[in-house]
Amino acid sequence: MKELLKNLVEIPAPSGYESQVRNQIREWIEPLVDEIRVDQLGNLLAVRKQAAAPRLMLVAHMDEIGLMVTHVDQQGFARFVPLGGVMPIHCVGGRVRFLNGVQGVIGVEKNPSSYEIPPIEKMFLDVGASSVDDCPIKIGDVAVFERPFLDLGKRVVSKAMDDRVGVAVLIETLRQLKKSAFELYFVFSVQEEVGVRGATVAAFGVEPDLGIAVDVTATGDTPKGHRMEVRLGRGPAIKIRDAGMLADPRLVQWMVQTAEKAKIPYQREILEFGGTDARAIQLSRSGVPAGVISIPCRYVHAPSEMVDMEDVENAVKLLLRLLQTHPRLERED
């Protein structure tokens, strides 16, 4: 899966501009499904049909965080706003690539003190121009962070692991899947980073009986890092709660029991901040039972995000097992 992941993360696709990565995913998976289409917002929906079976929506978002130009001054420097959760601490000195191939560096108005993190309003993009007339970018142009894929053996690093690693898990699941207890809708969603917009309309259209998102989650295994139990290399995480949703306890139990029966390593996840496309599924129409399989990821929303390939591979194993059985969805009154 490492080569698949490398190909995915190196495609630039900020929120709202996912066409390049969508086209590549479609080329790979079209021979593996019974039906494939793109909806009006840009989500890619691929269907594995199964007569008289419950409808399960699996979703991973294609978009990544990025930047959008808002102003170019007379010297050719550009101001910008973030697309998604771009954190100022990761910006100054960072390199970016625009969709038209133009590259640049993020500068700041003056060198801050060692204790100060300048806000994005004090930053600018330098693409090597000397005036507004020879500046190769214009208002509304979008860029992503420029970072090559780094292979550290068992662990790999790149921009856009959030959530191309989830996309890779769904693609590999499709490749290996032989039978299922569900009619499956594999949804590669757009605009998650700016408010789970793609999954919102996709869930409304699919009308699933239940849903699973595959996305990254933070870890608590770095020096004096955020206090949480998830660690790299200890298996995919089964979400219980994040800032956007409470995972359906029946699906949590289903995932835990399936992992334990198959002897697949897993972790229990509570994330105090952030959310996933599962929130949109859960709140669609009259409500849908939803859960999340999370890939532990260090440095989420930094230009260099790290995942462990064993966690990725075990996420595929868990998903394949889940697709063979139905969860118990009876309510206890």
With respect to residue 328, please indicate whether it lies within any of the assigned structural domains: no
141 in the same domain as 20:
no
- Per-residue pLDDT, 125: 97
Q: State the Cα–Cα distance between residues 323 and 184, nearest whole angstrom.
A: 9
**Range name among 60-69, 85-94, 232-241 with the lowest pLDDT average:** 85-94
What is the Cα 74 distance to its own chain's centre?
37
179 pLDDT higher than 60? yes
- pLDDT value at position 37? 97
- Residue 148 — pLDDT band, cuts 50, 70, 90? confident
Same domain, 295 and 213: yes
* Whether residue 214 sits in one domain with residue 115: no
**CA–CA distance, 7 with 109 (Å, rounded to integer):** 35
**Percentage of the chain exceeding pLDDT 90:** 91
Residue 163 preceded by cis peptide, ω within 30:
yes
pLDDT for the residue numbered 299: 95
- 282 lies in the same domain as 226: yes
Instruction: Please state the domain count of the chain.
Output: 2
**Is the model more confident about 329 or about 78?**
78
Sheet holding 155-158, edge to edge: 150-151, 155-158, 305-308
What's the CATH code of the domain at 178? Answer: 3.40.630.10
Active-site residue, from 192, 193, 269, 305: 192
When the pLDDT of each residue in the chain is averaged and rounded to a whole number, the result is 95
Residue, of 224 and 41, whose pLDDT is higher:
41
Domain boundary among 97, 118, 145: 145
Q: What is the pLDDT of residue 333?
A: 54
171/230 same-domain check: yes
pLDDT at 197: 97
| CA 149 to chain CA centroid, nearest Å | 16
Q: What is the mean pLDDT of residues 186-213?
A: 97
pLDDT digits (tens, 9 = 90+) for 276-322: 999 999 999 999 999 999 999 999 999 999 999 999 999 999 999 99
Task: Reply yes or no on whether 18 is catalytic.
Answer: no
CATH code for the domain in which residue 94 is found? 2.40.30.40
pLDDT the model gives residue 322? 97
Do 139 and 241 fall into the same domain? no
Supply the range of the domain harboring residue 121: 66-145
Is 197 in the same domain as 290? Answer: yes
Position 328 confidence tier, pLDDT thresholds 50, 70, 90: confident
**How many other C-beta atoms lie within 10 A of the C-beta of residue 194?**
18
- Radius of gyration from C-alpha coordinates of the chain: 20
pLDDT of residue 112: 64
Confidence band, pLDDT 50/70/90 cuts, at residue 167: very high
Indicate whether 168 and 241 sit together in one domain. Answer: yes
Residue 247 CB partners (closer than 8 Å, separation 6+)? 238, 239, 240, 241, 278, 290, 291, 292
The pTM assigned to this predicted structure is 0.95
> Taking Cα atoms as reference points, which of 241, 265, 201 lies closest to residue 57?
201
User: Comparing 54-63, 163-172, 321-330, which segment has the lowest mean pLDDT?
Assistant: 321-330
pLDDT tens for each residue of 83-142: 999 999 999 999 999 999 999 999 999 866 667 889 999 999 999 999 999 999 999 999
The per-residue b/e assignment along 210-244, b for 16 or more CB within 10 angstroms, e otherwise, is: bbbbbbbbbbebeeeeeebebbbbbbbbbbbebeb
167 — phi, psi (to 5°)? -60, -45
